[in-house]
Structures are given as structure tokens and as C-alpha cells.
Amino acid sequence: MNKEWSLDALYKSFQDENFESDFQKLKDLIKDFKNHVSTLDESNPQNEVKTLISFLENINLTARKLGSYIFLRQSTNTTDSETTALLQKLEELLSDISKEEAIVKKYVARVENLDEIIEKDDKLKEYDFLFKEMKIEAAHTLSDDVEEVIAKMNLSAGSAWSSMQQYLTSVLKVDYNGKVITLPEVRNLAYDPDPKVRKTAYEAELAAYEKINDAISYSLNNIKSQVNTISSMRGYESALDMTLVQSRMTKETLDAMFEAIKEYLPKFHTYLKRKAELLGHKNGLPWWDLFAPLGESHRKFTVEEAKEYLVSHFRPFSDDLADMIIESFDNAWIDFFPRSGKVGGAFCSNLPFIKQSRILTNFDGSLSDVVTLAHELGHAYHGLHIQDHLPLNTNYTMPVAETASNFNETLIMKAAIEEAEGEEKIALLESQLQDTTQIICDIYSRFLFESAVFERRKESFLFSDDLKELMLDTQKEAYGDGLDHDHLHPYMWINKSHYYRDSLSFYNFPYAFGGLFAQGLYAKYLEEGKDFVPKYQAILNATTVNTVEDVAKMADIDLTKPEFWRQSLDSITKSIDLFLDMTK
């Protein structure tokens, strides 16, 4: 079994003749597209709309294949200059059609009989939701020339600042116990059973950030300033308003979710205080013990054992999920272990155009890492159920992006906890609560932090010390007395790449959304059993062509009311109560 992924299904190398020919194909497509858009046929919108869709499909498929390959190559070797140069070259190519894309959106928006045109063509019917989104985007689209300038300038602005953060954190050298290790390696030590190791690793991590904190503060400031400017120019009330439109989600839903979360925060604080007591702390949990394992189960998994564990737990739910997991492990979809130059954390990249996915992790064999694999394989399962859509219908938005991943987490942890007894049950239960506390308390702190950065950036520059203070303030608000306020994590803003997306802000609340939505879907599964699985698969399939609220209605869920979110949180508090009872 390969421990690194293979990208051969895309291209063999940058010198692969298919890679070179596809790059040339994209150049030709873009040239033809630009020429065509310059002389749009206003007299025959039916043929014109079909022609434009064909252009967009071909450009999308070619660009995504090239972009995925380059991005995946870069994520495992951020120091490779050839990859960086090719990524910039691709971005420059795609930025060259921003003006034309703006023209197309405005053209579609002004076609008076668009509904009639769509109704006459089976293929266009499948793009009905896409056309509706084009009309909404057209209302926030600037003049054609301005759109072109924004896209081109972004290459040396927001995109460049984002690349700098990724590069600096991926090559950061951490001095730990007389040796030099990577950032992902030192962060993995937070799960070590030895309290001295956890504390020393935490201190080494914070010390390492001092080497890059000022540089990355400039990245964060300039990305958020750019987003503030563009969102205002486009007529959005705020960066959050723009994000919600991009997310196909209403502010009413977001407010309902956070209203419920704030009500339940004290329950999570109670869990954290109990864990602190068990570890010998009196003033709440210090940050270095946030992920400390409890109980007697310190099981380590090999990659092969992780595969067996996941397959055995997901097979009872659905054969297609278990079979996909086997394929992922056996056919080199996963890059497992940390190494210098490889980015930290974990992600899944769906590749619907080849009906596969690729998963990156920094696996060290802990149960938490097995759960992370389950999470990322959930994204891959989501990809499995959207891969048969038409090419322009394969993008789901941030909130629903975390649904299948969190459903996987919920399913595997519930099953594992039910099977366990005694100290092992405590260990598994506490591991689950660790993860749940992250998507509730930590995500809330991240949302508060990013909201504050956006607001304060309108008036001033936030230096590293300002960002540290802001991070501590939001952690105190979200974690309350559950954490020791003298030992928090002032640099959490440095290592979270989500803050540094130039075209995607607030990649935090979707984790809370996905976790709680998954809890609701899991409750439906418990009620309906196997009959729910086809409905769940249909929900995943629908996420690319519906609003968040309409997807939830397929499961008879109203996201705009706090009641649904309270029900999901209630199911989590039952686990907290069980943990409190077992650790009296």
C-alpha cells in the first residue's frame, strides 16, 4: 500500500505531453472565448446561451484538471520553484478572462426570455440553478474593465499574501528537545500521552511562531483589507454578507445557529473544567492539554489498521462508502505522513472529472488521526455523489462542504463508543468531545476573531501584538472558564490557513454548521435506518444545485429556526453528561 498519493491519473509530470497539450488547449480555449464574447449575438440568445455554456464547460474542465495537479504537487512540496511558477502561470491565464466572465453574467441576466430558453433544452434545464446564480452575481459585478483589473492585480496582492503564509508555515523550523522538526510534527505532539511532551511542544510551537509572526501579520492585514474593499465595491454590506451569498445561505440561518451555540457554551465549559480536574489543573484547562488523551486506550494505528477500522465501521452504513474507502487506500488517493515542505493539517480535493479524490493528512497513528481520515473520506464520499453532475454543477458551498465529513465523524465515533467499555469508553468519548468542542468553542472563537479583524482593519493596521491580543480575547469569550486564561494560544491566527483565502472568507462557521447539520442527519438515520441512506445520498447530490436551506428541507429540517440547532446540540450534551457521569 502506497503511503504517498499518486497523481498519475491526472498527469505523470510537468513534462508529460498531456500536461503540456492541456496547457496549450486552455490557452486556445481562452483565446477563442475572448474572441467570441467580444461579438455576442444579441439577436439569437437561445444559441448564444448554449454556446457560452459549452465554452465555460470546456474551460472549467481543462483548468480544473491542470489546477488540481499543480495545487496537489505544491501542497506536498511548497519549496518547488517549478510548481510555484506554473501555478502563477495558470492563475495569470484564468485572470485574463475575468472581463469576459463578467460580460457573460450580465448577458445572461438581461436575456428576457431565459426561462423559456431553458425549458426548451434538456441540458440547459440542468443548469437552471446556475443561471439563477449568474443573475445574482451580475447584480454585484463591476464594470468589465474593473473586473479584469481586480483579477490581474490579485495575483500580486491577495493570492501572493496567501502563498506567503502557506510557504512560511510549511518550511518553519521548530526547535524541540535539541532537534529541529516541522510545524505539523510539533503540533501532533499535542496528542501525546506524556504531559511533559505536550507542554514542551506547546512552548516550542509558540517560540517558533516568533520567527514569522510579523511577516504573517502583513499577510492577514492585506488580505482582509482587499476583501473589505472588493465587497464594498460590489455593493455588499460587509465581507460576511458577501460570504453568505457565496455560501447560498441566509443570515437568518447563521444567526439561528449562533443563537443556539451561545446558549450551550456553558455545557462545553463544564466538560473542559472536568477534564482539567482529571489532569490536575485548578483554573481550567491550559491550552497544551486541550487534546490530551484520557482513559487507558492509547491505541496506535498503522495505515493498514486504520483502513480495516474504517471499512469495518462504515460497511454497515453503506457499501458504496466502504468500497470507496478501500479504493482510496489501495489506489494511492492518500498522502499520509508529515515531511518538510508539506503543508500542515488535512484536506480532501474532489476530482469529479476523473471520478476520484485526493486526501492529504499528517498521520501519526492516533485515534484522532483515524477520525481525521474518516472526516476527509467524508469529503471524498460527497465527491462520489456529485461527480455525475454536468461540469458546471460540481461545486458545493462552504457550509454543506462539511456535512458528509462530519456525518462520517459522528457515525464512526458513535459506533466505536458503543462498542467500548470502562476506561476505553472514556477515552473514545473524550476524543469525540475534543473534536466537538473544536467545532463549537474553537470555531466560535475563530468567527469572532475574523469578524473583529475585518471590522478593525477598516480603520487601522493590526500588528502582531494586536492580533495576539484579539485572539486571546476571542478565546476567552468562546471557551469561558473552561480554559486557563493564563495559558491560551495567542498565535492560533498564524497556522489556520482558512484566514488566508483571498476569495473565501469566514471559513470557520461552516465547520459548526456541518457538525450540527450532520448530527441532525444522523438522528434521522437512527429513526429511519437503511431507508435513510438513499435520502442522504440524494441530499449530497443536491448540494451543488440548491441553497443550503432547500437542501435541509429534503430532510424536513428548517435551518432558520434555533430549534433545529438546539436539538443537535442536545444530542452532544448527552455525550457530555455521560462523560461527566463516568468521570465523577
Q: Comparing C-alpha atoms, which of 107, 114, 144 is closest to residue 129?
A: 114
Pairing of strands 334-335, 179-182: unpaired
DSSP annotation of 442: I
Q: Comparing C-alpha atoms, which of 314, 307, 312, 309 is closest to residue 336?
A: 307
Q: Comparing C-alpha atoms, which of 477, 468, 408 is closest to residue 442?
A: 477
How far, in Å, CA of 408 to CA of 381, rounded?
9
246 touches 152 (CB < 8 A): no
Using DSSP's 3-state secondary structure scheme, residue 155 falls into coil
Instruction: Output the DSSP codes for 513-534.
Output: HHHHHHHHHHHHHHHHGGGHHH
How far, in Å, CA of 553 to CA of 325, rounded?
29
pLDDT at 1: 80
488 touches 287 (CB < 8 A): yes
Q: What is the residue extent of each domain of the chain?
A: 17-156, 177-289+443-500, 303-424+509-567
Using DSSP's 3-state secondary structure scheme, residue 182 falls into strand
pLDDT at 128: 96
How far, in Å, CA of 320 to CA of 383, rounded?
12
Q: Which three cell numbers stand for residue 292?
A: 490530551
How far, in Å, CA of 5 to CA of 380, rounded?
14
pLDDT tens digit at each of 584 positions of the chain: 889 999 999 999 999 999 999 999 999 999 999 999 999 988 899 999 999 999 999 999 999 999 999 999 999 998 899 999 999 999 999 989 999 999 999 999 999 899 999 999 999 999 999 999 999 999 999 998 999 899 889 988 999 999 999 999 989 999 999 999 999 899 989 989 999 999 999 999 999 999 999 999 999 999 999 999 999 999 999 999 999 999 999 999 999 999 999 999 999 999 999 999 999 999 999 999 999 999 876 678 999 999 999 999 999 999 999 999 999 999 999 999 998 889 888 999 999 999 999 999 999 898 778 989 999 999 999 999 999 999 999 999 989 998 999 999 999 888 888 878 888 889 889 989 998 999 999 999 999 999 999 999 999 999 999 999 999 999 999 999 999 999 999 999 998 999 999 989 999 999 999 999 999 999 999 999 999 999 999 999 999 999 999 999 999 999 999 999 999 999 999 999 999 999 98
Angle at 402 between CA 565 and CA 285, to 5 degrees: 70
Stated length of the chain: 584
How far, in Å, CA of 181 to CA of 559, rounded?
44
497 touches 385 (CB < 8 A): no
DSSP annotation of 439: I
CATH of region 17-156, choose from 1.20.140.70, 2.30.130.10, 3.30.365.10, 3.30.420.40: 1.20.140.70
Q: What is the CA radius of gyration of the chain?
A: 24
pLDDT at 298: 67
Residue type for position 529: G
How far, in Å, CA of 512 to CA of 394, rounded?
23
Q: Which three cell numbers stand for residue 137?
A: 452575481
Angle at 74 between CA 68 and CA 75, to 5 degrees: 90
CATH of domain 303-424+509-567: 1.10.1370.40
**pTM of the prediction?**
0.86
Pairing of strands 173-176, 179-182: antiparallel
Instruction: Output the DSSP codes for 324-372.
Output: HHHHHHHTT-EE-S--TTS-SS-EEEEETTTTEEEEE----S-HHHHHH
431 touches 301 (CB < 8 A): no
The helix/strand count (H/E) of the chain reads as 27, 5
pLDDT at 203: 97
- The torsion angles phi and psi of 358, rounded to 5 degrees, stand at -130, 140
